[in-house]
Amino acid sequence: MESTAEKLSTMSIAGDDGWASSAPTLRRNLQILSPDQIELARMLLLEGQTHLFAHWPEAGVDDQNKKSFFEQVSRLNASYPGGLVSYIKNARNLLADSKAGKNPYDGFTPSVPSGEILTFGDDKFIKLEEEGAKEARNAAFVLVAGGLGERLGYKGIKLALPSETTTGTCFLQHYIESILALQVASCKLSQGQCETMIPLVIMTSDDTHVPTLKLLESNSYFGMKATQVKLLKQEKVACLDDNDARLALDSNDKYRIQTKPHGHGDVHALLYSSGLLTQWQKEGRKWVLFFQDTNGLLFKAIPASLGVSSTKGYHVNSLAVPRKAKEAIGGITKLTHTDGRTMVINVEYNQLDPLLRATGHADGDVNCETGFSPYPGNINQLILQLEPYIEELKKTRGAIAEFVNPKYKDSTKTSFKSSTRLECMMQDYPKTLPPSARVGFTVMDTWLAYAPVKNNPEDAAKVPKGNPYHSATSGEMAIYRANSLILRKAGVQIADPVLDVFNGQEVVVWPRITWKPKWALTFSDVKKKVGNGCSISQRSTMAVNGQNVFLDGLSVDGTLVVSAIDEAEVKVTGSVQNKGWILKHIDYKDCSLPEETLTRGFTIDKVEQLEVNHTEPGKFEFRC
């Protein structure tokens, strides 16, 4: 029996004035297409995409390109829930709303949601950290790393960028070592037989997939088992040329539809379709932790936040930091609609203030008695409870509410400066949850939890005073600050920092202290590893790499590098005095230097150091 496609094809080739009549150039090419491709062609024409074929020459010319065009259409169709028909329909609706200036929060009243505000190092914090570290063996980690990083402009992937240059540890290595350290700590705390391997999923995209895989493979997965890490690649979506959602052709290749990333919201649909969530459920896992590619502090906040999720039974826990009113960071907000719907979600700062003003708060977003806005700042790291997450995804298949952000040529809003596309965000997941869902947040100090690397030096230098730079320079300095403050709280005498300017950014420079996650993950770990009478001067550098290194009565004025195998217990004591490692300013226009150095505005001149290195098992005391 003849298939529909064959019938359509013969009808049209025979000159029938059917579905293909609006695209004569396509009609004259139908014989080179497969039945599936003809179906796709039909769909495109019915969806008003005739322009895609306007330049097609007669059959026999560019046939391979024409087939490749349909291969791409087929991929775009398969990777979007509901296919291209749904994509185009959703785009038309969202573009019409955007043109009409429709407010997505119409009918909603904002209020402050409930959540936990933690103080680093107090008893409650320590208990929560212990609870979280115990729970970690029931967790799976998901790293969203498909972003282009256009603002940073780094030529490599962001995950390969050093989080700090004292040790040169890149973000991916730091993340993996943190998860492995949690794995060990969690098994120890659970006291029973425990052989769990905490899974890590990395969402990549065409822009990041190959280099991410290479980075893992060329470093033996930084100590993880290869089977423990799974890469899921997100597909891009078609770009749109106008309000009618006409798909944009690539200006360099008229047989390709231009595509752009759909946003990190894709992670939910990808996880759902991968089958991993149900596999984790079968393994008895309870939590899925989502995080981003360049936050060198995040794992300092993970144990306590997971402790909050576990003790409060949160289905969704958004990690947050204190936020000054009107500060340029989204606020976690409860929204209640006149029709009874409620949701706790991130509301962008430029929408929160007008929304508050429009709903009876004459002053909009203002600081409360704490000196901060009652709407905490979203840092886009989420902890979801697995079971309700799966239940929700069974309903939505992971589809996340999308938005469109066209840059219009003028106020008539009829044409765009450049093509646009639909996008979706990971943190919009709670939008579809029922009111019974337990959605909360955990606020921690910014110095402890959040220092992303998003901006290139030029743009960072232009950030208005008082706002975070979010550059490679500030990201690295934030790690030294956090480690210094944690040691100070543990009783180590840490000298005050100094101010300095790198790449036009004024930053606070603390001693360059780093440690591997296996040395200490929680504040209790740190306290166990440092004894009395330790001190570190501002010009000092200290790098600790070893699970059982103890610092006792140690004073450092210079550079100390300690390494020891796990089976070696080493007590380091005495006084370190040497020329140390010096931060040297560099000119970011000096092309002879590597990009990783240029982007932070300094290099470390390793003049002199004391190295303590134990490679044999046993118990040792090293007097400096």
Q: Binding residues for ligand UTP, per CB under 6 A?
A: 144-152, 203, 205, 261-264, 292-293, 454
Q: Which amino acid is at 121?
A: G
Q: Closest separation between CB of residue 8 and ligand UTP, Å?
A: 36
The residue behind tokens 């330790």 is 534
Secondary structure (3-state) at 508: strand
Q: Residue with structure tokens 């973000």?
A: 171
d(CA 132, CA 130) in angstroms, rounded, equals 5
| Least separation in angstroms between CB 322 and ligand UTP | 21
Rounded to 5 degrees, what angle do the CA atoms 185, 520, 540 make? 165
Shortest distance in whole angstroms from residue 34 CB to ligand UTP: 31
Report the nearest approach of ligand UTP to the CB of residue 262 (Å).
Answer: 6
Q: Which is nearer to ligand UTP, 148 or 358 (CB)?
A: 148
Q: What is the DSSP-derived secondary structure letter of residue 408?
A: B
Cα radius of gyration rounded to whole Å, the chain:
27
- Kindly tell me which of 152 and 319 has the beta carbon lying closer to ligand UTP: 152
At its nearest, how many Å lie between ligand UTP and the CB of residue 269? 12
Q: DSSP for 28-82?
A: TTGGGS-HHHHHHHHHHHHTT-GGGGTT---TTSSHHHHHHHHHHHHHHHHHSTT
Which H or E run includes 571? strand 568-577
Phi, psi of 503 (to 5 degrees): 50, 40
**What is the CA 220 to chain-centroid distance, rounded?**
23
Q: How far is the CB of 495 from ligand UTP (least distance, A)?
A: 34
Between 17 and 150, name the residue whose CB sits nearer to ligand UTP: 150
Looking at the Cβ atoms of 261 and 440, the one nearer to ligand UTP is 261
Closest to ligand UTP by CB, 400 or 554:
400
Distance CA 426, CA 292 (A): 11
- Residue owning tokens 């087939």: 67
Pick the closer one to ligand UTP by CB: 315 or 454: 454
Cβ contacts of residue 328 below 8 Å, gap of 6+? 349, 467
- The answer to whether the beta carbons of residues 538 and 511 sit under 8 Å apart is yes
To the nearest whole angstrom, how small is the minimum distance from the Cβ of residue 169 to ligand UTP?
18
| Residue number with CB closer to ligand UTP (116 or 402) | 402
How far apart CA 285 and CA 306 sit, in angstroms, is 13
3 state SS of 110: strand
User: Least CB distance from residue 453 to ligand UTP, whole Å?
Assistant: 9
Packed helices 123-135 and 298-312: angle between N→C axes, nearest 10 degrees = 90
Nearer to ligand UTP among residue 205 and residue 471 (C-beta): 205
Shortest distance, CB of residue 422 to ligand UTP, whole angstroms?
12
The residue nearest ligand UTP at its CB is 147
